[in-house]
Chains A and B, each alone.
Chain A
Amino acid sequence: MTYTNCLFDHDGMPNKLKSILLISLYPISATGGGENYTLNCAKSISMANIGCELVAPSDRSFIGDSSERRFHKWFTKQVFNAGSVSYTTQETFREILESVPAYEYLWIHQYLATASVYDLLLATHNQQIIYLTNHGFEEYAEDFWIRYSRLPNHYFIEVSKYSAKRTQQYTKSVNHLYAGAWKKNLEISSDISITDKNKFVCVGRLLPHKAFEVAIDALPKTDHLVIIGPDSENPAYKKFLETKSRGKNVHIVGEVVSSEKDRIVASSIALLVNSSSVTYQNRVFPHSELLGLVVIEAILNNTLPITSSLPALKEVMSVLKIEHLVYQERNPKSLYEKMNLVRSLSNNEYRVLIEQAKDIIRQQFLWDNYWFNLQNIIRKS
């Protein structure tokens, strides 16, 4: 089916379609992999000379609100032009909905977050192409899949093979496309040798499914561990980590500016990604990571990542050919072994692994040609 043929009116004149509306159903003011992914996605599309408008709820109260008040909730709209934000406006959800049919493409990020995904889908028409991407906030998943019926202009673009596999349980037209780095960031080389690296680092919001306690347990008393990330979302968990850290060199530094974070990561022996499907309170999070952008972030800062064996993390590590740095999920002993393994690498061995991973990122994870790659995938599917 050729949709572009439908983009003309009765007189054969092109309809006024306004390129792409990228909408995140989860606020993107929060710092997290999914939110970064969405922002970079908008940037990438606009760099491919496609008008891109990124909208997201201004606050979290939008999620879970299925009353008529949801139509009056505010959304922040960022209009991208050639990779940067031209201007920002505020619009109500009702206004956003009314503008939906005018776009050629609608891309919904976090489509499992809220029932309002159906407000959006109901506003679309057959001449549009709809992309849907999940970043792991799945509060509405059950009802979404009961109600959803696939249409030929719908495409699920998931962030990893693992995530795509999960979606394939419910529907067809599922693809995955990696992304996570800009070409210019790959050029940064490090002058810090492995012997000058003096600590381990963890990056992420202080939430139970990130399982920072595993890193603390695995950390020898002589080593240092820095934990970077917003720490106000779950005070109980923060307290738990502080208790765990007694007698060890653990520094919970909270959220820091990006350049400072990069400096800390670059000067670390390894970046530890401990995400787990089971929390310290035995709560199950089967999808706590769908990609693990932090792995790419570590490589960009010339630091090797060590990750837990969560399927998505394992997949990325495997693609980057460093799967031997994957430890058994929630197993401090296994993590300790991997920490020692990295520490035992010579400067040269360490650099070879980093360069090899960077080459793969250059081939498969670039934002620079993301839109082009996506169109190729869609064409083939």
Chain B
Amino acid sequence: MNMKILLVSNIFPPHVRGGYELGCLEIAQKYSQIGHSVIVASSENHETFKNYPHPEHIDVRRIFNPVNYYDEQYNHHFQTNSIYCYEKIMAFAGYIEPNCIALRRLIETESPDLVWLFNPLGIGPIGILDTIVSCQTKVIIHLMEHIDAVIQDYSKSVNLTAKWKHLKSQVTAVSCSQKILESNTIFGEYYYNKVIYNWIKLDRIYNDQDLYEDQILSDSTLSSGEKRLNYLKILYFGQLSEIKGVAILFKLANLIAKSAYKDRIKIELYGKGEDLFVDWLDREIKNDAQLAKVFVLKGFLNKESLQQKISEYDIAIFLLNDNEPFAYAPLEAMSKQVPVMLTEKAGNSEILKNEYNAILVKDRNDIFEIYKKLIWCLENPKLLADISQNAIKTLKQECDLDNVTVPALNEIIDSTPVNKGYSFEHVLSVCETLKYPYFELDINPHMVGARYKFIDIVVNHLYANPLFGKLLHKQVKKIIHHYRSNR
């Protein structure tokens, strides 16, 4: 039976921050393609995030307030502004009245059979869920983020977590990994919660089953003849940021550049990231000729061009944060038969087994362990080929959008009960209460007091000294980088 589905996402292509929005887009496209009527409710956003083609054939309604809080400059500029601080608390752990009203109106006019909530952060997650639950419709929340943890972080001055917990108990959830399922139990559990791993469109790559099997076979035969690789081309693609492990890759490259393997291993990175960080990487590479041979920033490529490039590499490396829910990039690499190396605590590792369908690293900060694994790759090309074949099998079993994901999602949709709903005045009443703060925001913009002022003067004086200032600045930067890459 064809349904009317309303997808809700904080931001939506062409604005993209990460996999969450792309996941929402792919679901919208897929369900539209299989005959359902799909509408997406999202926000209009800043140009900074406009880095994806405009989605075609999808009815997108930009009904929410812009989500500015992912813009570093915006955050920096207003960090001591009380209105900004209050709005940010509401955006990440509260209610935003215009968003609630706009969503309610949309649901009333469109009467969807199912409201499918993706990332609610930044648009007032509790208000959004309250609004949806207040309607007589099926509700599913698709979890690809540590939403409870974010709500907890923003619940210091005002605490709506009891409400969040209550709303969750009435909603069916789909978690992109067991890690995400567990991390979203800080404030109670969802009515029903099932893990469905993030997906990949295998049909796009292997339309013909036989061709796919043949390709694996032929690749395997080719690899088996070689005893060791002469050269290892390593690929990273995605956000160029410390949180994604790029700073550790940089350290690793430094180690390789000083090792006997400096002419046999090369790491190439595609993507864009935080300006300051990328500029720093750029400077460091330019200052070291040996490093420049090992570690190359290739810039940003659109998805199609990148897809073509992936298979040119021997291995893809993703030193993901332990909290990573379930990254899409490793799936893309696996689907191109490129073996992936990633951290064993990231969500993706739930479907991976070391040296069977991936190479898993225990601690991403242990660059010696990663280095040893790379040498192992150089010496075991046959095993690498096996890994890439097994990875394809795993993708087919766990992440195939058409044959695994959609049927599993449909099963959940069918079994999700229609909410009884309640009067919207309950939502509006909360919005009214929260229109302006009834509590202290505890903003401490500047260090106050004579002692701190004195320290300020001393530090400023030291910084002003040309020689000592430069040294101090370098040390402070080192400390910051060390802290960031180890967090």
- Compute how far the CA of A119 lies from the CA of B438 in the bound complex, rounded to whole angstroms: 9
| B439 adjacent to A122 (CB under 8 Å) | no
| A152 adjacent to B423 (CB under 8 Å) | yes
B208 at the A interface (CB under 8 A) = no
| A115 adjacent to B439 (CB under 8 Å) | yes
| B442 adjacent to A68 (CB under 8 Å) | yes
A143 at the B interface (CB under 8 A) = yes
| A101 adjacent to B162 (CB under 8 Å) | yes
Query: Which chain B positions have C-beta within 8 A of A121?
Result: 433
Query: Which chain B positions have C-beta within 8 A of A68?
Result: 156-157, 439-440, 442
CB-CB contacts below 8 Å: A48-87 with B? 66-68, 70-71
B215 at the A interface (CB under 8 A) = no
Q: Select which of A70, A115, A151 is within 8 A of B429 by beta carbon.
A: A151
The residue of chain A having its C-beta at the shortest distance from the C-beta of B162 within the complex is: A123
| A98 adjacent to B161 (CB under 8 Å) | yes
| B423 adjacent to A126 (CB under 8 Å) | yes
Contact with B along A84-118 (1 / 0, CB 8 A): 00000000001001111100000000000001001
Query: Which chain A positions have C-beta within 8 A of B428?
Result: 149
Assess A101 versus B161: contact at CB under 8 Å? Given A68-B442, A149-B429.
no
- Compute how far the CA of A3 lies from the CA of B159 in the bound complex, rounded to whole angstroms: 25
CB B114 to nearest CB in A, in angstroms, measures: 15
| B438 adjacent to A151 (CB under 8 Å) | no
Contact with B along A141-185 (1 / 0, CB 8 A): 001000111111000000000000000000000000000000000
Query: Which chain A positions have C-beta within 8 A of B160?
Result: 122-123
Assess A147 versus B432: contact at CB under 8 Å? Given A94-B159, A125-B426, A126-B426.
yes
Query: Which chain B positions have C-beta within 8 A of A122?
Result: 158, 160, 163, 430, 433-434
Query: Which chain B positions have C-beta within 8 A of A67?
Result: 157, 439-440, 442
CB B92 to nearest CB in A, in angstroms, measures: 16
Query: Which chain A positions have C-beta within 8 A of B422?
Result: 6, 126
A10 at the B interface (CB under 8 A) = yes
Choose among B166, B426, B428 the residue with the greatest number of A CB atoms under 10 Å from its CB.
B166
- Compute how far the CA of A351 lies from the CA of B155 in the bound complex, rounded to whole angstroms: 61
B417 at the A interface (CB under 8 A) = yes
The residue of chain A having its C-beta at the shortest distance from the C-beta of B156 within the complex is: A68
Choose among A66, A70, A99, A143 the residue with the greatest number of B CB atoms under 10 Å from its CB.
A66
Query: Which chain A positions have C-beta within 8 A of B159?
Result: 71, 94, 97, 119, 123
Query: Which chain B positions have C-beta within 8 A of A143?
Result: 438
CB-CB contacts below 8 Å: A289-327 with B? none
The residue of chain A having its C-beta at the shortest distance from the C-beta of B429 within the complex is: A149
CB-CB contacts below 8 Å: B424-479 with A? 425-426, 428-430, 432-435, 438-440, 442
Choose among A9, A71, A126, A147 the residue with the greatest number of B CB atoms under 10 Å from its CB.
A126
Assess A101 versus B438: contact at CB under 8 Å? Given A149-B429, A152-B423.
no
Query: Which chain A positions have C-beta within 8 A of B191?
Result: 9-10
CB A342 to nearest CB in B, in angstroms, measures: 49
| A101 adjacent to B163 (CB under 8 Å) | yes
CB A267 to nearest CB in B, in angstroms, measures: 50
- Compute how far the CA of A151 lies from the CA of B157 in the bound complex, rounded to whole angstroms: 25
- Compute how far the CA of A143 lies from the CA of B442 in the bound complex, rounded to whole angstroms: 20
- Please report whether the interface of chain A is mostly helix, strand, loop or mixed according to DSSP: helix
How many residues belonging to A are interface residues under a CB distance threshold of 8 Å? 29
- Compute how far the CA of A98 lies from the CA of B155 in the bound complex, rounded to whole angstroms: 12
B165 at the A interface (CB under 8 A) = yes
B298 at the A interface (CB under 8 A) = no
CB A102 to nearest CB in B, in angstroms, measures: 9
| A10 adjacent to B423 (CB under 8 Å) | no
CB A119 to nearest CB in B, in angstroms, measures: 6
B482 at the A interface (CB under 8 A) = no
CB-CB contacts below 8 Å: B183-218 with A? 191
| A149 adjacent to B432 (CB under 8 Å) | yes
The residue of chain A having its C-beta at the shortest distance from the C-beta of B426 within the complex is: A126
Q: Select which of A101, A118, A150 is within 8 A of B165 by beta carbon.
A: A101
Query: Which chain B positions have C-beta within 8 A of A97?
Result: 159, 161-162
Query: Which chain B positions have C-beta within 8 A of A9?
Result: 191
Query: Which chain B positions have C-beta within 8 A of A98?
Result: 161-162, 165
- Compute how far the CA of A101 lies from the CA of B165 in the bound complex, rounded to whole angstroms: 9
Query: Which chain A positions have C-beta within 8 A of B46?
Result: none
CB B418 to nearest CB in A, in angstroms, measures: 9
CB-CB contacts below 8 Å: B313-371 with A? none
| B438 adjacent to A115 (CB under 8 Å) | yes
B420 at the A interface (CB under 8 A) = yes
- Compute how far the CA of A147 lies from the CA of B435 in the bound complex, rounded to whole angstroms: 8
- Compute how far the CA of A149 lies from the CA of B156 in the bound complex, rounded to whole angstroms: 24
| A125 adjacent to B166 (CB under 8 Å) | yes
Query: Which chain A positions have C-beta within 8 A of B430?
Result: 122
| A147 adjacent to B440 (CB under 8 Å) | no
- Compute how far the CA of A152 lies from the CA of B432 in the bound complex, rounded to whole angstroms: 16
Query: Which chain A positions have C-beta within 8 A of B162?
Result: 97-101, 123
| B166 adjacent to A101 (CB under 8 Å) | yes
The residue of chain B having its C-beta at the shortest distance from the C-beta of A8 within the complex is: B420
| B442 adjacent to A118 (CB under 8 Å) | no
The residue of chain B having its C-beta at the shortest distance from the C-beta of A123 within the complex is: B162
The residue of chain A having its C-beta at the shortest distance from the C-beta of B418 within the complex is: A10
- Compute how far the CA of A126 lies from the CA of B170 in the bound complex, rounded to whole angstroms: 13
- Compute how far the CA of A6 lies from the CA of B426 in the bound complex, rounded to whole angstroms: 15
Query: Which chain B positions have C-beta within 8 A of A152?
Result: 423, 425
Query: Which chain B positions have C-beta within 8 A of A6?
Result: 420, 422
Query: Which chain B positions have C-beta within 8 A of A115?
Result: 438-439
Query: Which chain A positions have C-beta within 8 A of B157?
Result: 67-68
The residue of chain A having its C-beta at the shortest distance from the C-beta of B436 within the complex is: A147
The residue of chain B having its C-beta at the shortest distance from the C-beta of A140 within the complex is: B438
Q: Select which of A10, A66, A125 is within 8 A of B163 by beta carbon.
A: A125
| B163 adjacent to A147 (CB under 8 Å) | no
Query: Which chain B positions have C-beta within 8 A of A66?
Result: 438-440
CB-CB contacts below 8 Å: B233-252 with A? none
- Compute how far the CA of A22 lies from the CA of B281 in the bound complex, rounded to whole angstroms: 60
- Compute how far the CA of A186 lies from the CA of B358 in the bound complex, rounded to whole angstroms: 82
CB A352 to nearest CB in B, in angstroms, measures: 52
Q: Select which of A70, A71, A94, A147 is within 8 A of B433 by beta carbon.
A: A147
A residues in contact (CB < 8 Å) with B: 6, 9-10, 66-68, 70-71, 94, 97-101, 115, 118-119, 121-123, 125-126, 143, 147-152
Interchain Cβ contacts under 8 Å between A and B, 10 examples? A6-B420, A10-B417, A67-B157, A68-B442, A115-B439, A118-B438, A126-B423, A147-B433, A147-B435, A149-B428
Nearest 4 interchain pairs by C-beta: A123-B162, A101-B166, A10-B417, A126-B422
